[in-house]
Structure 1
């Protein structure tokens, strides 16, 4: 099937059996495999499968070992949620998703986080095939001058607000983007040299050219890469090929989504939201149907509710 819109997707997936058959084909093709031991050719049962391996012999369905595990939500609703989350350029809130799909907001919140787990990059991707890469950092959080006086940082103790609570600085996100290519993002404690250089070396081959602004954290890149920077402090934003406009454009989409759709994101879950925005951007040239199928192929990630809400996450 080639789904070009949400109504087409919902019209096709009217029955749960159709959804299960479609997802089984995406996950297993013609060779169902036991998610517990990897055994092939399981018995077919009324509710799924049973492993032939005598040491395992466990029952399972196509949901086991995926983001859909232990979920009572029909596949049809899951598929619609995946479509909405991955098609909206700036994302969709759990409140809006709950209204659109007729599920509680708390359930919609959990569904969205499982989808973000599915969108997470499972292995570091290498950028720089086109040889030109931009790197930059941005900060998420309200401006100090816009805060109520008691919420502002204390001048007497920089670790506290004026009302005596712990002061929370802006969240720092570093990013690398390949011109006409993909983006890689990371939530870090600050725009330090160690954070930036380590991140760049993980994602950029040594024969690439890196462009950045004049922040001191990028100076060490010259030891490994061909590196040049643009002088924002002198109001110079473009010098030939030297600019960071590509990643600045991405930051604008990210911030409009975080501020306008989600309003605020906790430190605990920031990385998951970055995974969501990076996945949408990196697959922007694919058709809606290609993105939907590709994301389903990466759905073998289990995220229990207790793990998601744990303070140790």
Structure 2
């Protein structure tokens, strides 16, 4: 049997990572080159003439004298941790298929659990924001999903402690999955599905869903919609029309249950965003590390008070 080229790709070995980012100087140089490919330029006046204040590791513009650091305005801003620790965390999060918990991250990095938790949630937020920028296109399988819930009492959609989210998987012409988007919603309502579709689906795409009434809301987003009434039950899961979306739902749920002891429901969007980010970039595992570093440069600083707030967007 032929090996799956995506599954058996080499990725980035720990030896290759250490040779490229094993020292603080290597990490700083790479971050500088990624942030200013054409050389440093003042963010205020645009001047490219500057001097380095080595005592405080700052860059000062020769024209307006504005001072800025290598990490100012990025996700790494105000962090007391060295860049080599950040880069190692990014390596562990991108190269581990099923994710890595904050507790395991703290052990691997040799930092406190609280510091590892903040770092992980900042990086997961970056993953979510960057992944949400690219809408799905082509043929898209759509389904409604719930995470969590109590074991006793009311079951189904009315159960307390459940968090609903939309699962969508786009496929190519050969019927293979290309990208997915898992988005937490407040409820399965027509208006909310319309807003979600306008933000996450490319116009003229074909959406295939079951008979849930709210899915008709995607039609207002200028997409083609085909409804297939499944009737529920285990037999509906095996229908070929929803093969890949059901497969990805199962894979993500199993990975999350196996990796994380508990997930605060208000942070569920970030955990789902992490899996979507890695799945959508799985074709080049080796390059995923630098993709996340580049995304972190584009992400605004996130103090802890913002991290602990519930995610309000899809």
| Structure 2, unpaired ranges of 5+ | 1-9, 172-176
Query: 1:159-212, CA deviations, whole angstroms, 9 ceiling, x for partnerless residues?
Result: 9xxxxxxx8430001122211322223211112222223212322234222111
Taking the TM superposition and a 5 Å limit, the aligned residue runs for 1:1-313 are: 4-35=12-43, 39-46=47-54, 47-54=57-64, 57-122=65-130, 124-128=133-137, 131-142=138-149, 144=150, 146-147=151-152, 152=153, 168-179=160-171, 180-221=177-218, 224-233=222-231, 235-236=235-236, 243-288=241-286, 290-300=287-297, 301=299, 302-310=301-309
The answer to whether the 8 Å contact 1:231/1:237 transfers is: no
Q: Residue 39 of structure 2 aligns to a residue in which SS?
A: coil
- Cα separation, partners in 2 of 1:257 and 1:221, compared to 1, 3 Å: same
- Cα separation, partners in 2 of 1:37 and 1:108, compared to 1, 3 Å: farther
In 2, the alpha carbon distance for the partners of 1:215 and 1:244 equals: 14
Provide TM-score, normalisation by structure 2.
Answer: 0.81
Q: Residue 184 of structure 1 aligns to a residue in which SS?
A: strand
In 1, the alpha carbon distance for the partners of 2:258 and 2:269 equals: 18
**TM superposition shift of 1:258:** 2.5
The answer to whether the 8 Å contact 2:94/2:278 transfers is: yes
In 1, the alpha carbon distance for the partners of 2:311 and 2:270 equals: 15
**TM superposition shift of 1:39:** 4.6
In 2, the alpha carbon distance for the partners of 1:311 and 1:188 equals: 12
**Count of matched residue pairs:** 288
Provide TM-score, normalisation by structure 1.
Answer: 0.82
- Cα separation, partners in 2 of 1:253 and 1:238, compared to 1, 3 Å: closer
**TM superposition shift of 1:33:** 3.0
In 1, the alpha carbon distance for the partners of 2:273 and 2:44 equals: 27
Larger radius of gyration: 1
| Structure 1, unpaired ranges of 5+ | 160-166
- Cα separation, partners in 2 of 1:285 and 1:236, compared to 1, 3 Å: same
In 1, the alpha carbon distance for the partners of 2:63 and 2:113 equals: 41
Query: 1:135-165, CA deviations, whole angstroms, 9 ceiling, x for partnerless residues?
Result: 11210014x4x34xxxx459xxxx9xxxxxx
- Cα separation, partners in 2 of 1:35 and 1:250, compared to 1, 3 Å: farther
